[in-house]
Amino acid sequence: MKRPPWPEFLLLLALAGLVALSCSLGASHISPLRLFESPLARQIVIEIRLPRTVLALLVGASLGLSGAVLQALLRNPLADPGVLGISATSSLGAVLVFYFGFHFVVAGGIAGSLAAVLILILLAGRHAGTLTLLLAGVALSSFAVALTSLALNLAPSPLAAYEILFWLLGSVADRSWPQVAMVAPFILGGWAVLATTVRGLDALTLGEDVAHSLGVDLRRLRWAAVAGTALCVGGSVSAAGAIGFVGLVVPHMMRALVGHGSARLLPACALAGAVLLLAADIAVRLLPLGTDLKLGVTTALVGAPFFLAQILKMRERQ
């Protein structure tokens, strides 16, 4: 039963449209159509709007992709970098590096991500049920948020304490090309590593023993998933803060449209994540609320009800 590729096609169309829209929107109301006549318009579109757009795509794709991989690896439909506390810990790492004067923020973000996954494995064990895993995620998340708040209060800059909303809810506003360039190699590297898990993840559907008997190296699979997630989520959080729910919602949506096969599902989730986050960023810019609404608010407004619906569905199944 082969499903035709119309979901991916539509997503690509949506992506192109949203990119164009994103480059046209801005507080100065300058149209990108003036790109060629006005150096000012060129500057604004290329230096201010475009890095923001590209970052939204990179982060959204990373979240969608890592959500799909985590759900398949942990065989748990509620897995997501946010729910499991990976994003929050990544934030903590980034904050510790950034505010205390070191420039390589992305190192902090990735270290935080990696630490989170290792701690989760330690807390929940390899054969953890849903409850244990989610509780471990809650514990990790709460702890990371508390430490982040403390770190921001202790930071040398007096402005730091007010910036916690960025780290907790995320934003791509006014991000510049140097910042995007700092994280892009790690994000792309993470994608490459996650791509190697495709075969193994499919085999895991029927359990670890069957997967092993089908020739899958489970340890290598787990490490690839861990490393790939750490790289792309860590990189994303370093530049845009912790944005939740994208990794939770996107795999469910795409599974219904393209099926469970990882070879098709993973790229589709990356694509859908990019589209979703860019749409959320555009929504943030269109809403006439004046001050900078954080990106994570819109994803939470969509994602949290979805999360609750999933829980209810699981209860019914029981």
Partner 1 sequence: MKSRRAKFLAAALLLLLASAAAAEPRRIVSANLCADRLVAALADPDKVVSLSYHAADPALSTILERAARLPLNHGDAEEIAALHPDLVVFGQYTGGAAVNMLQGLGIPVHILPVPRDLAETRSAIRDLAARLGVPERGENLVREIDDGLARFSRDHKPANGRPRAIIYSAGGWTYGAHSIDDDILRKVGAVNISTLAGIDGIGNLSLEQMVALQPQLIVVETIGNQPSLETQLLQHPALLSGGAKRLDMPMRLWQCQDAALVEAARRISEALP
Partner 2 sequence: MSRLQWDQVSLIKQGRSILDQVSMSVASGEMIGLVGPNGAGKTALLRLAVGLERPDQGRILLDGEPLNRLDARQRARRLAFLPQQAEAAWPISVEDAVGLGRLPHGDRNPEAVAEALAAVDMAEHGDRQLTRLSGGERALVLLARALAVRAGLLLLDEPTASLDPAHQLQVMEVLRRRAEAGDAVVVVLHDLALAARCCDRLLVLHQGRLAAEGSGAAILDDPLLRQVFRITVERGHVDGKPVFLPSSWVA
Among 1, 27, 122, 131, binds partner 2 (CB under 8 A): 1
Q: Is residue 260 part of the contact set for partner 2 (CB under 8 A)?
A: yes
Contacts 24+ apart (CB under 8 A), 266-269: 266/65, 266/68, 266/69, 266/194, 266/195, 266/198, 266/201, 267/8, 268/7, 268/8, 268/11, 269/64, 269/65, 269/67, 269/68
Among 31, 132, 153, 157, binds partner 1 (CB under 8 A): 157
Task: Give dist(CA 46, CA 287) in Å, integer.
Answer: 23
Span of 17-25, 85-93, 209-217, 287-295 interacting with partner 2 by CB under 8 A: 209-217
Q: Is residue 255 part of the contact set for partner 2 (CB under 8 A)?
A: yes
State which H helix or E strand residue 136 sits in: helix 130-154
Sign of CA dihedral 268, 274, 277, 282: negative
User: How many CA atoms lie less than 13 Å away from 229 in the CB half-sphere?
Assistant: 34
CB 310, CB 94: distance < 8 Å = no
CB 136, CB 128: distance < 8 Å = yes
Task: Give dist(CA 267, CA 8) in Å, integer.
Answer: 9
Binding residues for partner 2 restricted to 19-78, rule: CB under 8 A: 72, 75-76
Among 261, 293, 304, 306, binds partner 2 (CB under 8 A): 261
x/- map, 263-302, partner 1, by CB under 8 A: ----------------------------x-----------
CB 248, CB 303: distance < 8 Å = yes
Q: Is residue 132 part of the contact set for partner 2 (CB under 8 A)?
A: no
Q: Is residue 316 part of the contact set for partner 2 (CB under 8 A)?
A: no
Smallest distance, Å, CB 159 to partner 1? 4
- Judged by beta carbon, residue 106 or residue 268, the one nearer partner 2 is 268
Q: Is residue 70 part of the contact set for partner 1 (CB under 8 A)?
A: no
Interaction partner, residue 56 (partner 2, partner 1, none; CB < 5-8 Å by kind)? none
Q: Is residue 18 part of the contact set for partner 2 (CB under 8 A)?
A: no
Q: Which of 249, 281, 214 is nearest to 18 (CA)?
A: 281
Among 12, 217, 301, 314, binds partner 2 (CB under 8 A): 217
The tokens 């699981």 sit on which residue?
Answer: 314
Q: Is residue 174 part of the contact set for partner 1 (CB under 8 A)?
A: yes
Instruction: Write out the residues near partner 1 by the rule CB under 8 A.
Output: 26-28, 30, 40, 43-44, 47-49, 98-99, 101, 155-160, 163, 166, 173-174, 176-178, 291
Instruction: Write out the residues near partner 2 by the rule CB under 8 A.
Output: 1, 72, 75-76, 199, 202-207, 209-210, 212-217, 255, 259-261
